[in-house]
Amino acid sequence: MFKVGLIGLGVMGKPMAANLLRAGFPLTVFHPVRERCESLEIMGAAVAETPEQLARTNDAVITILPETVTVEQVLFGEKGVAAGLKPTCAVIDMSTISPTATVEFARRLEAVGCQMLDAPVTGGRKGAVEGTLGIMVGGRHEVFAKYLPILQATGKTITYTGPIGNGQKTKLVNQLVGATNLLAAVEGLRLMRAAGLDPETTLNAVSSGAASSWMLVNLGPLILQGDFDPGFSIRLQFKDLTLLRDWIAELGGEYPASSLVYSVFQEAMKKGLEKQGNQGLINVWPSP
Amino acid sequence: MFKVGLIGLGVMGKPMAANLLRAGFPLTVFHPVRERCESLEIMGAAVAETPEQLARTNDAVITILPETVTVEQVLFGEKGVAAGLKPTCAVIDMSTISPTATVEFARRLEAVGCQMLDAPVTGGRKGAVEGTLGIMVGGRHEVFAKYLPILQATGKTITYTGPIGNGQKTKLVNQLVGATNLLAAVEGLRLMRAAGLDPETTLNAVSSGAASSWMLVNLGPLILQGDFDPGFSIRLQFKDLTLLRDWIAELGGEYPASSLVYSVFQEAMKKGLEKQGNQGLINVWPSP
């Protein structure tokens, strides 16, 4: 059984680490704030002092971190993962970060003899806790096949998407479609309110046919209840849409829905809605 | 059992008329092109020479017509429905037309002692043939309750939405959300192609989580197969988005997704895509 290291015990990383322990993987964790490690230590995880130390003793290192720069720092900074990696060890980055930077990170790891998979996830905190995440994996297929049991301990729908970076690209396509569907749901709810239609009747009617979406069905009722607690926060959605914008700028081409959702989420950030769940997008506009 | 008249044997009206006959309603039909009536005549329908004549002998008159002006002409023009209506007869307009004009038409019918329901449908030709349409009904509740058996012969999910015009308003909210979800699906497919991702793998991954929508799941595979046959045509989708634009102009307020999908469908019309199914929206942009 692989010895697994996991770096980043945030909202996602912590329950994912617990699921790896439950699946029987010997686990070492690292987080800059030592107290975040305690509950996992009680469950049986070892705690490393640095990413370098964590890499030295494990067969695979998972990173699940908030930003491209955080991943770069943890991998290649002082006392970083790269300094401690054995050539047989792989890095599995489950963060959502720049696909272009991902390809570059993989190249730098390959220079020291190590393989990398990019394996960003969908399904939010709920999926992480229940082990039902969607995972979109890029990298060499034999590396994917080798480490698949680790991914299976944290997720349910696991898709091999092709070469390194393709996991992130698939995730950004997913975020584009999801954020635009969310804007559609929000605008539909605004319009039904402005028109004086009964919100629940209208939501039910619209959800039952060709206009239905996960966002409308799952977040529409929360909006009607005035529940803006974060499942997936506006701040994180905006982070992903910024990655999307930067990637599209590299690719070229006109993607008007992407531009629109970026600007609407930017407005939500300006209005101080960053800690609300993404359904809080409706609060960009005044109520009718 | 009500004696029913139906005006407008287009893509929707013809199978709806057949379902009314199958449900046992004595049916009279009218269509300006006499040959469109023949197959229904064989099934047992009577054929009227004018809307006025059709109205004279029936308890309820269904109109299912392409445009606001067509409905106005059929109701109030020469030899129109209003000229033949008995005071006990109701008009059930199942077209998708202006909610504002609908309220005005109902007022004019009430002046001659007749009731009106607006009852636009969703579900396209398939729903009309199978009798599984979604129907969003506005008007007085006792009128809705009285004529419900007629609606049940043509549709499945029947929603009472409130006063006259609310059926059309609910339908336009539905069209806003659906068209925006379609744009999201189209843009996601364009991006996955431009990025060189495997389209089927990516579509499956994106369809399995929070970015899923009816449009993505049902029209995404058609786009990948290059199948642009009309289930619901770009021309009709643009017609509905024009009604939406006009209604929003009356209401006031900023609805950026609505503005965007209107302009993208306008571009599709300019490019001569009007006869394609709405999934043909992807042909607005050159292939990557």
The pLDDT tens digits for B89-120 are 999 999 999 999 999 999 999 999 999 999 99
Q: Annotated catalytic sites of B, by residue? A: 171
CB contact under 8 A, A201 and B175: no
Q: Is the pLDDT of residue B124 over 90?
A: no
* Per-residue confidence (pLDDT) for residue A287, from 0 to 100: 85
CB contact under 8 A, A174 and B211: yes
- Is residue B155 within 8 A of residue B23, CB to CB? The reply is no
Task: Provide the CATH number for the domain around residue A113.
Answer: 3.40.50.720
Phi-psi region of B98 (alpha: psi -120 to 50; beta: other; left: phi over 0): beta
Average pLDDT estimate for B210-225: 97
Instruction: Indicate if B142 and B100 belong to the same structural domain.
Output: yes
Share of chain B above pLDDT 70, in %: 100
Question: For residues A148 and A140, what is the distance between their CA atoms, to the nearest angstrom?
Answer: 12
* Per-residue confidence (pLDDT) for residue B138, from 0 to 100: 98
What is the total count of domains within chain A?
A: 2
Query: Residues A155-171: pLDDT tens digits?
Result: 999 999 999 999 999 99
* Per-residue confidence (pLDDT) for residue B1, from 0 to 100: 86
Final residue of a structural domain among A144, A163, A182 = A163
Average pLDDT estimate for A51-78: 97
Instruction: Indicate if A112 and A247 belong to the same structural domain.
Output: no
Minimal C-alpha gap between B47 and chain A (Å): 33
CA dihedral of residues B102, B103, B104, B108 (deg, nearest 10): 100
Instruction: Indicate if A28 and A133 belong to the same structural domain.
Output: yes
Question: For residues A181 and A187, what is the distance between their CA atoms, to the nearest angstrom?
Answer: 10
Instruction: Indicate if A219 and A263 belong to the same structural domain.
Output: yes
Q: Which residues of B204-235 are buried (b: 16+ CB within 10 A; e: fewer)?
A: ebbbbbbbbbbbbbebbbebbeeebebbbbbb
Question: For residues A117 and A183, what is the distance between their CA atoms, to the nearest angstrom?
Answer: 32
The CA-atom distances, in angstroms, between A251 and each of A69, A245, B277 are 21, 10, 28
Average pLDDT estimate for B157-174: 98
What value of ipTM does the predicted structure carry?
A: 0.95
CB contact under 8 A, B256 and A187: yes
Share of chain A above pLDDT 70, in %: 100
Instruction: Indicate if B219 and B158 belong to the same structural domain.
Output: no
* Per-residue confidence (pLDDT) for residue A231, from 0 to 100: 84
Domain containing A10: what range? 4-163
Average pLDDT estimate for A116-138: 95
Instruction: Indicate if A111 and A201 belong to the same structural domain.
Output: no
Instruction: Indicate if B247 and B126 belong to the same structural domain.
Output: no
Final residue of a structural domain among A101, A129, A163 = A163
Confidence band for B77, pLDDT divided at 50, 70 and 90: very high
Enumerate the residues of chain B whose CB falls inside 8 A of the CB of residue A260.
256-257, 260
Give the SS3 label for residue B66. Answer: coil
Q: Exactly one of A171, A239, A271, A275 is catalytic; which is it?
A: A171
Confidence band for B287, pLDDT divided at 50, 70 and 90: confident
Q: Is the pLDDT of residue A189 over 90?
A: yes
Instruction: Indicate if B197 and B236 belong to the same structural domain.
Output: yes
A 10 A CB-CB count for B78 gives 9
Question: For residues A219 and A124, what is the distance between their CA atoms, to the nearest angstrom?
Answer: 14
* Per-residue confidence (pLDDT) for residue A245, from 0 to 100: 98
Instruction: Indicate if B136 and B13 belong to the same structural domain.
Output: yes
CB contact under 8 A, A161 and B190: no
Question: For residues B12 and A258, what is the distance between their CA atoms, to the nearest angstrom?
Answer: 35
Average pLDDT estimate for A187-194: 98
> Of B124, B206, B264, which has the smallest distance from its Cβ to A174's Cβ?
B206
Average pLDDT across chain A, whole number: 97
> Of B185, B257, B288, which has the smallest distance from its Cβ to A177's Cβ?
B185
Q: Could you tell me which residues are beta bridge partners of residue B7?
A: B30, B63
Question: For residues B190 and B203, what is the distance between their CA atoms, to the nearest angstrom?
Answer: 11
Minimal C-alpha gap between B255 and chain A (Å): 7
Final residue of a structural domain among B163, B180, B202 = B163
Query: Residues A88-111: pLDDT tens digits?
Result: 899 999 999 999 999 999 999 999
Among residues B93, B84, B88, the alpha carbon closest in space to that of B116 is found at B93
Average pLDDT estimate for A234-247: 97
Instruction: Indicate if A214 and A71 belong to the same structural domain.
Output: no
Instruction: Indicate if A133 and A31 belong to the same structural domain.
Output: yes
Instruction: Determine how β-strand A60-63 pairs with β-strand A4-7.
Output: parallel
The CA-based diameter of chain A, rounded to the nearest angstrom, is 64
For B234, residues 6+ apart whose C-beta sits below 8 A from its C-beta are B265, B268, B269, B273, B274, B275, B276, B277, B278, B280, B281
Confidence band for B125, pLDDT divided at 50, 70 and 90: confident
Average pLDDT across chain B, whole number: 97
The secondary structure of residue B286, as a DSSP letter, is P
Task: Provide the CATH number for the domain around residue A205.
Answer: 1.10.1040.10
**Residue A264 is which amino acid?**
V
Instruction: Indicate if B247 and B280 belong to the same structural domain.
Output: yes
Q: Is the pLDDT of residue B288 over 90?
A: no
Question: For residues B17 and B25, what is the distance between their CA atoms, to the nearest angstrom?
Answer: 10
* Mutual angle of helices B166-194 and B256-270, in 10-degree steps: 70
- Is residue B266 within 8 A of residue A256, CB to CB? The reply is no
Enumerate the residues of chain A whose CB falls inside 8 A of the CB of residue B159.
201, 204-205
Average pLDDT estimate for A30-36: 96
